[in-house]
Amino acid sequence: MTTSQAGDYAAKDITVLEGLEAVRRRPGMYIGSTGPRGLHHLLWEVVDNSVDEAMAGFCTRIEVTLNADGSIRVKDNGRGIPVDKHPKTKQSALTTVLTTLHAGGKFETGAYQVSGGLHGVGVSVVNALSERLDVEVVRDGFLWTQSFKNGKPVGSVKKVKPAKRTGTTITFWPSKEIFTETTTYSFSTVAARLREMAFLNKGLEIVLRDERGDEPVVETFRYSGGIVDFVKHLNSTKQPIHPHIIYLDESGDEAEMEVAMQWTDSYTETVLSFANNINTHEGGTHEEGFRKALTRAINEFARAKGLLKDKDPNLVGEDVREGLTAVLSVKVRQPQFEGQTKTKLGNTEIRGFVEKSLNKLLPEWLERHAGEGRQIVEKAVNASRARVAARKARELTRRKSMLESASLPGKLADCSSRDASVSELFIVEGDSAAGPAKQARNSETQAILPIRGKIINVEKARLTKALQNAEIQALITAIGTSIGEDFNLEKARYHKVILLTDADVDGSHIRTLLLTFFFRHMRPLIEAGYVYIAQPPLYRVKMGKEIRYLADDGELERLREEIGNRKVDVSRFKGLGEMNASELWETAMDPERRRLLRVHLEDAALAEEIFSTLMGDNVAARKAFIQKNAKDVRFLDV
Ligand code: 0RA
């Protein structure tokens, strides 16, 4: 907005309205998309503002309510958005914050801001994309309110009545014109993000209420241990190899950092990093500093205690991080977010800050807990031995040639197209289903890879072992991207990898094994949106001449309600193998008629929890988890 001269209200107002019109014209520029992700962004934006108040030390409680009428209310007990009139604009600061692009943040310096990244676009963007938004502020002894329609004020700020304490309540109704796909929030997505926020802001109480169902659902997140509780939570289904969760923190002029970590007996590493509460999926300078200091501290401790001899080579980062669960959180005054998804921290000064802090703190901790230090080193030494042995056995070169070899697996029925963007790979369970699938397919664009029996559970095996598994080898060569650090998305031979498994327990087990493999070793394939789940129907219903395929019992029930007591002929499919080629084509393969669910991992921590719980050793935890989440298979259905 340009500065306007006194009295030049009309011109000023036009500039403001134009600003928000731009948001409505190109919403994707501001919130990424107008799909479910963009919709959720609106809420993150509002919550971020309240969390900023908490980080500044003025807010202790945030309440998020998913209302029955489709609106969302976010209430905090911060200072309240200022309502006083700006001497220049003659407009209440409240109106300015809600109607001016990028004017949402604090005016004072000194506070951390979640700006520049995914969020931080300002609540005015939420206002612009809401058909209605009501704001209530308690401040200066009064309740103040204002309402908006599509970003435009419906009236001026009203001084309603005297009121005690302070705070801000924003209620918004996402615009159905903008969010054409859906305006419904997912409870589990919101809960996961709010829980993460509560972990990252020690002591902050965040309450989530869902008033949309018959019975209200309430979850309260408050962690007095902060990220230590986060690590405890991530490791709740794993077996720690030492008792204490390591917690280290440091604050400097330019930033604050804290890290919590604990090693378990697993073979994978889980390092979650955050900058100003934003999950830095792509890493960045804070992670680089952390990794460097960690590798150094463990090596120095190992040598000092004689656990590594002079002749032994150093442990490499990969060895040191095997089985590690860590949460690294930094708060930076002016974060720079880079990378494809703007989730990579770019501030160069942070690398040195984190590394230097940990170069001091880590050795101190290890000295004070020498017994635990030894256990950690022992694990790293074992990892190192396994790695060296594998290399000695030419495992690495074999793996390279295997993964890069031009020869495709024998049982792959490939498609003829070499254009990956139109090519699809169906991973089909069992030979009996593979036959009809091969017959039915469009062989130009659809390839079939049969998977026999159970593939190896990569959660319980080191990578070298997993790579000896024939099913895994076939999978990797067929997809073409290689895995782990060698992964290259551009080499993907298909832009749709579709899991086609039975609708029964075995089918869902195989599906989870496959997803676990993708999650651990080909995560960018999921992140790129290339992994899908086909949903073959459970029922075929004949109603006279019409045939309908129904996904589940719920759909069958709805159909019965719909048709009353008309006579229908219902048959239940037992498995894919029972379908003939044309049925399989119609229900699971024909791009015009099939149902596909795209798999995506919005929240790394929840994904981690799901995979380690579903595929790990803790049977009780697995049972409890499945019972709790039976209706909400988010990772399998969003
Ligand atoms: C601008 C300035 C101040 C606070 C806020 C905005 C503020 C915004 C939101 C949005 C949701 N909750 C919020 N709480 C506060 C500082 C006010 C002061 O100095 O007293």
| pLDDT higher at 87 or 603 | 87
Please indicate, yes or no, whether residues 408 and 382 belong to a single structural domain of this protein.
no
Which of 59, 106, 133 has most ligand 1 atoms within 8 Å of its beta carbon, as the pocket-test mutant?
106
Question: Which uninterrupted H or E stretch holds 385?
Answer: helix 370-392
Conformational region of residue 307, where left means phi above 0, alpha means psi within -120 to 50, and beta covers everything else = alpha
Q: Which of 522, 438, 507 is nearest to 472 (CA)?
A: 522
pLDDT at 540: 86
113 pocket-lining for ligand 1 (C-beta < 6 Å)? no
Would you say residue 123 has pLDDT above 90? yes
Domain boundary among 527, 553, 572: 572
Give the whole-angstrom CA distance, residue 224 versus residue 402: 49
Classify each residue of 259-289 as buried b or exposed e, where b means 16 or more C-beta atoms within 10 Å of its C-beta.
Answer: bbbbbbebbbebbbbbbbbbbbbbbbbbbbb
Please indicate, yes or no, whether residues 280 and 320 belong to a single structural domain of this protein.
yes
Among 370-374, 376-380, 592-596, 629-633, the range scoring the smallest mean pLDDT is 629-633
Give the whole-angstrom CA distance, residue 296 versus residue 303: 11
Q: How far away, in angstroms, is 106 Cα from ligand 1 center?
A: 6
Give the whole-angstrom CA distance, residue 542 versus residue 532: 29
* pLDDT tens-digit readout, 545-556: 888 888 788 888
pLDDT at 3: 31
Give the whole-angstrom CA distance, residue 199 versus residue 226: 5
49 pocket-lining for ligand 1 (C-beta < 6 Å)? yes
| pLDDT higher at 432 or 426 | 426
Q: Whose CA is nearest to atom 20 of ligand 1?
A: 79
Residue 8 lies in a domain: no
Max CA pair span of the chain: 84
pLDDT at 153: 96
The count of other CB atoms within 10 Å of the CB of residue 619 is 8
Question: Which uninterrupted H or E stretch holds 75?
Answer: strand 72-76
Strand-pairing partners, residue 271, are 326
Domain boundary among 329, 351, 386: 386
Strands 496-500 and 424-429: parallel
Please indicate, yes or no, whether residues 213 and 65 belong to a single structural domain of this protein.
yes
pLDDT at 604: 61
Residue 417 lies in a domain: yes
50 pocket-lining for ligand 1 (C-beta < 6 Å)? yes
Q: Average model confidence (pLDDT) for the chain?
A: 86
The answer to whether 448 and 410 have CB atoms below 8 angstroms apart is no
Q: Which of 302, 336, 330 is nearest to 316 (CA)?
A: 302
Residue 68: CATH number of its domain:
3.30.565.10
Q: How far away, in angstroms, is 255 Cα from ligand 1 center?
A: 22
Strands 158-162 and 142-149: antiparallel
Conformational region of residue 67, where left means phi above 0, alpha means psi within -120 to 50, and beta covers everything else = beta
Q: Is 304 helix (H, G, I), strand (E, B) or coil?
A: helix
> And the tokens for 553?
């019992």
Would you say residue 575 has pLDDT above 80? no
pLDDT at 544: 86
- Mean pLDDT calculated for residue range 6-30: 67
Domain boundary among 221, 242, 273: 221
Give the whole-angstrom CA distance, residue 399 versus residue 413: 23
Among 200-214, 249-263, 528-542, the range scoring the smallest mean pLDDT is 528-542
pLDDT at 573: 77
Residue 256 φ then ψ, to 5°: -125, 150
pLDDT at 440: 93
Q: Could you tell me the end-to-end alpha-carbon distance of the chain, in angstroms, rounded to an integer?
A: 39
> And the tokens for 533?
């789940």
Q: Which of 373, 264, 244 is nearest to 322 (CA)?
A: 264
Please indicate, yes or no, whether residues 106 and 195 belong to a single structural domain of this protein.
yes
Q: Which of the residue ranges 118-132, 295-309, 560-574 has the most confident prediction, judged by mean pLDDT?
A: 295-309
Please indicate, yes or no, whether residues 174 and 233 belong to a single structural domain of this protein.
no
Residue 281 lies in a domain: yes
Give the whole-angstrom CA distance, residue 244 versus residue 375: 12
pLDDT at 4: 33
Q: How far is CA 563 from the centre of its chain?
A: 41
pLDDT at 387: 81
Give the whole-angstrom CA distance, residue 43 versus residue 171: 10
Q: Which of 155, 153, 128 is nearest to 38 (CA)?
A: 128
Please indicate, yes or no, whether residues 440 and 353 belong to a single structural domain of this protein.
no
Residue 468: CATH number of its domain:
3.40.50.670
Q: Is 170 helix (H, G, I), strand (E, B) or coil?
A: strand
189 pocket-lining for ligand 1 (C-beta < 6 Å)? no
Alpha-carbon torsion (212, 214, 216, 219), positive or negative: negative
Which of 48, 49, 127 has most ligand 1 atoms within 8 Å of its beta carbon, as the pocket-test mutant?
49
* pLDDT tens-digit readout, 176-191: 999 999 999 999 999 9
Catalytic residue annotation: 429, 502, 504, 506
Look up the domain containing 360 and give its range.
227-386
Please indicate, yes or no, whether residues 60 and 89 belong to a single structural domain of this protein.
yes
Alpha helices in 26-92 (DSSP H): 27-31, 36-55
Please indicate, yes or no, whether residues 291 and 271 belong to a single structural domain of this protein.
yes
Q: How far is CA 375 from the centre of its chain?
A: 32
Question: Which uninterrupted H or E stretch holds 571?
Answer: strand 569-572
Count: domains in the chain: 4
Would you say residue 346 has pLDDT above 70? yes
Would you say residue 612 has pLDDT above 80? no
Alpha helices in 56-115 (DSSP H): 93-99
Nearest-atom number in ligand 1 for the CA of 74 is: 11
Residue 103 lies in a domain: yes
Q: How far away, in angstroms, is 170 Cα from ligand 1 center?
A: 12
Please indicate, yes or no, whether residues 334 and 478 belong to a single structural domain of this protein.
no
Residue 4 lies in a domain: no
Residue 234 φ then ψ, to 5°: -65, -30
Question: Which uninterrupted H or E stretch holds 73?
Answer: strand 72-76
Among 278-292, 488-502, 580-594, the range scoring the smallest mean pLDDT is 580-594
Give the whole-angstrom CA distance, residue 139 versus residue 160: 12
pLDDT at 501: 87
127 pocket-lining for ligand 1 (C-beta < 6 Å)? no
Please indicate, yes or no, whether residues 336 and 461 belong to a single structural domain of this protein.
no
Classify each residue of 201-240 as buried b or exposed e, where b means 16 or more C-beta atoms within 10 Å of its C-beta.
Answer: bbebbbbbbbebeeeeeeeebebebbbbbbbbbbbebbeb
The answer to whether 262 and 315 have CB atoms below 8 angstroms apart is no
The count of other CB atoms within 10 Å of the CB of residue 197 is 20
Residue 393 lies in a domain: no
355 pocket-lining for ligand 1 (C-beta < 6 Å)? no
pLDDT at 597: 83
Question: Which uninterrupted H or E stretch holds 208?
Answer: strand 205-210
Residue 5 lies in a domain: no
Give the whole-angstrom CA distance, residue 494 versus residue 514: 16
Give the whole-angstrom CA distance, residue 266 versus residue 324: 8
* pLDDT tens-digit readout, 497-532: 999 987 677 777 888 888 888 988 898 999 899 999
Residue with tokens 């990797």: 476
The answer to whether 605 and 612 have CB atoms below 8 angstroms apart is no
- Mean pLDDT calculated for residue range 127-155: 97
pLDDT at 555: 87
Please indicate, yes or no, whether residues 324 and 457 belong to a single structural domain of this protein.
no
pLDDT at 574: 67
Q: How far away, in angstroms, is 105 Cα from ligand 1 center?
A: 8
Q: Which of 536, 450, 533 is nearest to 497 (CA)?
A: 533
Give the whole-angstrom CA distance, residue 21 versus residue 15: 10
Would you say residue 600 has pLDDT above 90? no
Please indicate, yes or no, whether residues 315 and 289 belong to a single structural domain of this protein.
yes
pLDDT at 397: 43
Q: How far away, in angstroms, is 137 Cα from ligand 1 center?
A: 10
Residue 346: CATH number of its domain:
3.30.230.10
The answer to whether 22 and 7 have CB atoms below 8 angstroms apart is no
Predicted confidence band of residue 606 (pLDDT cuts 50, 70, 90): low
Angle ∠(359,360,361) on CA atoms, nearest 5: 100
Residue 13 lies in a domain: no
82 pocket-lining for ligand 1 (C-beta < 6 Å)? yes
Question: Which uninterrupted H or E stretch holds 559?
Answer: helix 553-563
The pTM (predicted TM-score) of the whole model is: 0.73
